[in-house]
A = this chain, B = another copy of it.
Amino acid sequence: MLNNTKDIIFIGKKPLMTYVTSAIIQLSAMPTITLKARGLSIGLAVDVAQIIKRKTNAFEIGTVKIDSESLESTDGKTRNVSTIEIPIKRTW
């Protein structure tokens, strides 16, 4: 079974609290998850991490990584898009 797949939550276009809830549910089952986002969703990922941290003292934010990815757009050109990875750890 792919036990590893659910420790990454991709932040996209759903409402903020959808990601907060699913992150907290995942953190009850495993010690660390990672929020990943790219482009315009980067700000939302930071918001999700901050809300989780503020809610309780049970979680802390690890080392944030920023990077960029090359994507091929529909016109065949390569575009670079910024990405962010925010690890969140359970403190208990």
Interface footprint category on A: 20 to 34
Asked if A31 lies at the interface with its beta carbon under 8 angstroms from chain B, I say: no
Asked if A46 lies at the interface with its beta carbon under 8 angstroms from chain B, I say: yes
- Once the chains bind, are A66 and B42 in contact (CB under 8 Å)? no
Which of A1-9, A17-25, A47-55 faces chain B?
Answer: A47-55
- Once the chains bind, are A63 and B63 in contact (CB under 8 Å)? yes
How far is it, in angstroms, between the C-alpha of A87 and the C-alpha of B65 when the chains are bound?
Answer: 12
Q: Can you sample 13 A-B contacts with CB below 8 Å? A: A40-B43, A42-B43, A43-B82, A46-B84, A49-B66, A50-B66, A50-B80, A54-B68, A61-B66, A64-B64, A64-B65, A64-B66, A66-B86
